[in-house]
A and B are shown apart, each in its own frame.
Chain A
Amino acid sequence: MNSYLYYPGCSLAGTAREYGQSTLAVLRRLGCEIPELDDWTCCGASSAHSLDHRLGLALAARNLALAEAQGRGLLTPCAACYSRLAAAWHGVRQGGEVAEWLREILGRPLEGTFRPRSLLEFLVVEIGSHEIARQAGVPLDGLKVACYYGCLLSRPAEWAIDDADNPQLMDGLLEELGARAVPWAYKTECCGSFLALARTAVVFGLVERIVEAAREAGADCLVTACPMCQANLDMRQRRGRPPLPIFYFTQLVGVSLGLAPEVLGLDRHIIPGLPLLRERNLVSGPVGLRERLLR
Chain B
Amino acid sequence: MGHPSGGTEPTVLVVDDNADLLALVANSLRKLGGFSVATATNGAEGLQCYFEVRPACVVVDVKMPGLDGYQLIRALRGDPDSSATPIIVLSAMVQDRDKLAGLLAGADAYLLKPISPLDLVSAVRQALARTETQRQQRLRALLDDTAESTES
| Chain B binds chain A | no
Which residues of A are in contact with B by a Cβ distance under 8 Å?
none
Which residues of B are in contact with A by a Cβ distance under 8 Å?
none
